[in-house]
Structure 1
Amino acid sequence: MKNIVWRISAKVSKLILFALIMFGCKQDPVLWKVVSTQQVISEYVASREDFSEFNKILESTGLNSLLAVRGPYTLFLPSDEQMKAYYTEKGVKSYTEFSEDFLKTLTLNHIINRQIESGDIGLGAISEPNAIGDFIVTEFVGSDIILNKKSKIIKRDILASNGVVHHIGKVLDPIAKNVYEVLSGNPSYSIFTEGLRRTNLKDTLQIISFMYGKKPARTRFTILAIADSTFNRFGITSINDLIAKYTNAPDSITYLNNGFYRYMEYHCLANTYFLSDLRLNTNLYPTLTYDNNVSITVDTDYKINLDPKTKEYTSFVIDLSNNPAKNGTVHTILGLLPVQQPRPVTLVWETTDHFDMKQGDYYTKYYERWFDGQNTFANIKWEGDYLLYYYKINHGLIRDDALSMSGWWWVEVTTPKIMKGKYRITGNIWSGQINYAVYVDGVNTALIKTSDPANSTTWAEVEWTTTTTHKVKIVNTSPGLLFWDTIIFTPIN
């Protein structure tokens, strides 16, 4: 079987190479290189009697064919003993009692479309979502790796010719609860949960997906939750106590500018950040609040809103954090975390970091181009022959991607909200073969020449009095190629 697959792959690869040459694509073809004579993953599972239950499910759903092709894939594989324990937990005697849709979801929940070996796993979550779009939480008990709080990897890094297999000690049950349901199902967080309910923030936090164009897009949230026991230490024993602490207008706590509403909203981040997603040193992360961010410093601890003078901060309760949800994660913090405006820090922002751009299958995988410069993306506008999503591994770009244009053009991007303050703005223009003008919020701030250093020439010095988004536009004054990777906002003290 594997030889047939390899022969077919070789023939297909030759046809792809021929097509690329004929149609003049400039991107180098990526061929599947067989790096071993080991079995493909589907063959490995089928050859082991102790994994016959999972193999039957693979065959019944047709997903064994997925694990027989190129990949690379990661499979978290439960044994027959674990599968039968799962049947008992679900009140069935056989996998045949599950619907076909559930079996597909269950199987894909154990598969990642990338090779993840044990050395790639840290505290937080696996960097790539699984085949149903959920992130698998990862933690350590001693040297043991625990998945989704429950399943230990009992045998690691079994290499196959199209990926890697890990034996696990418990079936990974598909995550079904949203972040609000994770909290509301735990009585230890009754005050905080009631705050989300009364402000109506729960309605937003229960959204798992929505239609974006012709396909669903996933929502992602992070909740910095506070347990009742922590509130109690500060003399807060009920939701009314908490409301009274942060507002004098308890009848208007659903209003955006109400103090209590802003307090609860400040604990809700507008993306999913497991502990492994929090970057070293001090960085700002967007809250649902329209005009604020939260500061998190990672050094000897995970520190929220670290005061550089007093060294005080709000900490995470590590053991009670990284709780997986269908639309994000819930962390537990040890403190009240009142609303505050964090001081500005250096922001290195990638020009490809836009929600709508990330919805494409091409994102961080291959090139894509567009021709409508006004209606394709909400926060990228351009004029020129076309805009290219450029993707090339190991070419000096932060995430191996950039915005690219050629000929005569202009392109404008809208940034995420940036804390008010004074900044020096620079950019990483990878080409350096063009002259161009820079505009910040519609004002011409610089004329850059090909002789100017690409990464250190100042585009602007600005002082912003509000925390909001901004527009940065570059217009070439000589024809040529653009590869625009990042904009850097450096605070000026």
Structure 2
Amino acid sequence: MKRIIKLSGIVISTILLVFIAGVGCDDGLGDKTFLTTDELTIAQTLDASPEKFSTFVEMLHLTGYYTSLQSYGSYTCFVPVNEVLDPYIKERWGVNLVSELTTQEQIEEVKELVKFHTMAKSVGASGFIEGRMPDTTYTGDYLTSSYLLGGGIGNLIINREAKFLQYDIRSDNGYIHCIDKVLTPYSDPVPVVIERAGKHTIFIEALKKTGLYDDFSVKLTETGNKKNFTIFAETDSVFALSGINSFDDLADKYAEGDTDYEEVTNGLNRWMAYHATVSFLYSADIPDEGYLSTVLENNAIKVDKNDDVLKINESETGGEVETWVSLVSDYSNYPAKNGVYHTVDTLMDIFIPKAKHILFDPVSSQPEYISRAIRSMNKVTADKYSEVDWYPPTNTVRFIQRSKNVNLDWNFFDMGGCVWYEFITPILAKGKYEFLVCSNGGNNARGKFQVYWDDEPVGSIYDVTKKASQVGAPDSVAMEANGWRLGKEWITNKAGTKQSDSNGCMRFIITKELLCPVQKRHKIKLVAVKSGGIPLDYFEFIPVD
């Protein structure tokens, strides 16, 4: 049996589509420029310094993008100076001037180059952190920023290629950052990028022998959506520390004589599949704690960040000395067209974690929220989410985020007006849990719901209309007897109001005996017994010894 990898495509933002569709030969703006003030736009600012930027400006004119960067909007441009771009053009296309690029293929390449150097968001240098940029370029890719040479903006490296010559050149519609190299647009998938690095030859051979090299090289789904992988790879030197000096050594250790490496039950195949997630995660995107789903079904990577140190699969012996896997920073956060790869400092074996306390936020835990494809107060239909569903799939606002909300991450999921809602949980380790749900209930809530766990009813009716006084608040003993608990003391709004002091934010105990026999994700379904609004905050899973 061969492994079939199922992935959800990511939604490219509307503004990206507008840019790509609207800045061709006829960009829809004509010769008009829409300005917010009399200040210079990015295009005009570049035009005003021909000694540095004339070649890039010529590229903007050639592609039709000049008008777009002269128009109302919010952009960030990483602009190579003339002395960098001129030799690049000569080496790449064998011409001396942009005007000599006349074929459609050449123009399309220049378009890709300009789009890769431009983000649909205004970001100053102070907004760059280790890892990916806060938004995608117009090619749909994330640039990276890193401080491998030390702290300070002067040591910042973009995509491990370019440094700033000048930064934060402010214009009316965004920022210009002047760089000393041309950024290379992503074209290769993750396995090719790892192979090209030349430090992971045993790992690459194992990917090829297991068939995962081809699986992880797919860039698009059958429907045209983008696939993403994050791969954690050992270098040859890391393997050598464990006495593994060849592919045969690796196979001997994990396959145990079974040479059908493409079979999903093969020990080596399982070990390699465990090294990949089906998500796009730079180190900064890895959660502070929790689990990462891997291609190996029902086996997740445990992560914890303590004092900015990422600990992968930290042992749980309870002793004074614990072990874990770390990232090698110099060889991590390497982007590709369909994801990113990291290098680990020791063998990353399949880890079986203990059950742990998890808060599942149905808003900010969603990949569409993380990728900014869906934002607060945006109307969406159910098909816009990959891990949330509702019926009927109406076009409506599904979450609201405000600093005054006494909710986790200051947001809640609006469950009004539908028959049922479904949510796919994070990875839960094998174990027994208390299962709770928190909402903004009381006077403004009208719904009553039956909760289902993996399509089986669990617990009594969740009556969100219950007021705090009806369930014994603030007496915790009386509330517990009635199946309720106060909200979390550490969850506050911006003003500092505690959730535990809010009568409208209580936790309902669905069950104290939720059994999870295997490590996996699950489905929560809430079916309306009585329809009505319910601002859903979070689900909670508390391990039971």
TM-score bin (small chain) = 0.7 to 0.9
Check whether the contact 1:427–1:454 (CA below 8 A) recurs between aligned residues. no
Q: Distance in 2 between matches of 1:159 and 1:264?
A: 47
2:378 maps to 367
Give 3-state SS (helix, strand or coil) of 1:172's partner. Answer: coil
Q: Residues 139-188 of structure 1: CA distance to partner in whole angstroms, max 9, x if unpaired?
A: 11222110111101222222222111111111111111111101222332
The within-5 A match list for 1:266-345 is: 266-280=274-288, 282-300=289-307, 301-308=309-316, 309=319, 310-345=321-356
CA shift, 1:286, in A, is: 1.3
In structure 2, what is the equivalent of residue 434 of structure 1? 446
Secondary structure of the structure 1 residue equivalent to 2:55: helix
1:82-481 equivalence runs, <5 A: 82-90=84-92, 92-93=94-95, 94-95=97-98, 96-97=100-101, 99-140=106-147, 141-142=149-150, 143=152, 144-212=155-223, 216-280=224-288, 282-300=289-307, 301-308=309-316, 309=319, 310-351=321-362, 363-364=374-375, 367-370=378-381, 379-384=387-392, 386=394, 388-394=396-402, 396=405, 403-407=413-417, 409-430=419-440, 433-437=445-449, 438-441=451-454, 442-449=456-463, 450=465, 451=467, 454-461=505-512, 462-481=514-533
Q: What's the offset of the Cα at 1:229?
A: 1.2
Normalized against structure 2, the TM-score is what? Answer: 0.77
Cα separation, 1, equivalents of 2:295 and 2:347: 18
**Which amino acid is 1:469 matched to?**
R
Instruction: Tell me which residue corresponds to 1:15.
Output: none
Q: SS of the residue aligned with 1:210? A: coil
CA 1:129 to 1:262, structure 2 compared with 1: closer, same or farther past 3 Å?
A: same
Tell me, yes or no, if the aligned pair for 1:387 and 1:405 is still in contact at 8 Å: no
Deviation of 1:111 (Å)? 0.8
- Distance, in Å, in 2 between the alignment partners of 1:430 and 1:336 is 45
Is the Cα contact below 8 Å between 2:33 and 2:67 reproduced in 1?
no
CA gap of 1:275–1:360, structure 2 versus 1, over 3 A, is closer
Query: Match for 1:127: what amino acid?
Result: P
**Distance across 2 between alignment mates of 1:106 and 1:465:** 50
CA distance in 1, matches of 2:374, 2:290: 24
User: Could you tell me how far apart the structure 2 residues matched to 1:184 and 1:408 are?
Assistant: 49
Give the 3 Å change call, closer, same or farther, for CA 386–419 of structure 1 in structure 2: same
- Report how many residues are paired: 457
Alignment partner, residue 15 of structure 2: none
CA distance in 2, matches of 1:103, 1:455: 56
Q: Which amino acid aligns with 1:53?
A: T
Partners of 1:181 and 1:360 in 2: CA distance: 25
CA 1:246 to 1:170, structure 2 compared with 1: closer, same or farther past 3 Å? same
How many Å apart are 1:203 and its aligned residue? 1.4
Letter aligned with residue 418 of structure 1: L
Paired with 2:362 and 2:376, the residues of 1 have a C-alpha distance of: 16
Corresponding residue number in structure 1 for 2:499: none
Distance in 2 (alpha carbons) for counterparts of 1:399 and 1:72:
26
* TM-aligned CA deviation for residue 85 of structure 1: 3.1
Higher relative CO (Cα under 8 Å, sequence separation at least 6) belongs to 2
Instruction: Provide the residue aligned with 1:29 in structure 2.
Output: none
**Residues 427, 116 of structure 1: alpha-carbon distance in 2 compared, 3 angstrom cutoff:** farther
Distance 1:131 1:376 in 2: 20
Matched position secondary structure for 1:307: coil
Cα distance in 1 for partners of 2:63, 2:533 equals 48
Q: Kindly state the Cα deviation for residue 358 of structure 1 after the two structures are TM-superposed.
A: 7.4
- Alpha-carbon distance change, 69 to 345 in structure 1, aligned in 2, over 3 angstroms: farther
Question: Counterpart in 1 of 2:39?
Answer: 38
Runs of 5+ consecutive residues of structure 1 not aligned to the other structure? 8-33
Q: Distance in 2 between matches of 1:360 and 1:229?
A: 35
Distance 1:231 1:378, change over 3 A: closer
Instruction: Give the aligned residue type for 1:69.
Output: S
Tell me: CA distance 1:485–1:249, structure 2 relative to 1, closer, same or farther (3 Å): farther
* TM-score normalised by structure 1 residue count: 0.84
TM-superposed deviation, 1:387:
5.8
RMSD: 2.9
Instruction: State, as a whole percentage, how many aligned pairs show the same letter.
Output: 24
Structure 2 CA distance for partners of 1:359 and 1:333, relative to 1, 3 Å: closer
Shift of 1:123: 1.1
The residue that corresponds to 1:12 in the other structure is none
Unaligned runs of 5+ in 2: 1-28, 469-503
1:358-416 Cα offsets, whole Å, 9 max, x none, are 7999622762344xx7x887754433583634354535476787643434632222334
SS of residue matched to 2:185 = coil
Shift of 1:68: 2.2
User: One-letter code of the match for 1:38?
Assistant: E
Contact 1:436 1:448 in 2 (8 A): yes
- CA distance in structure 2 between the partners assigned to 1:366 and 1:38 by the alignment: 31
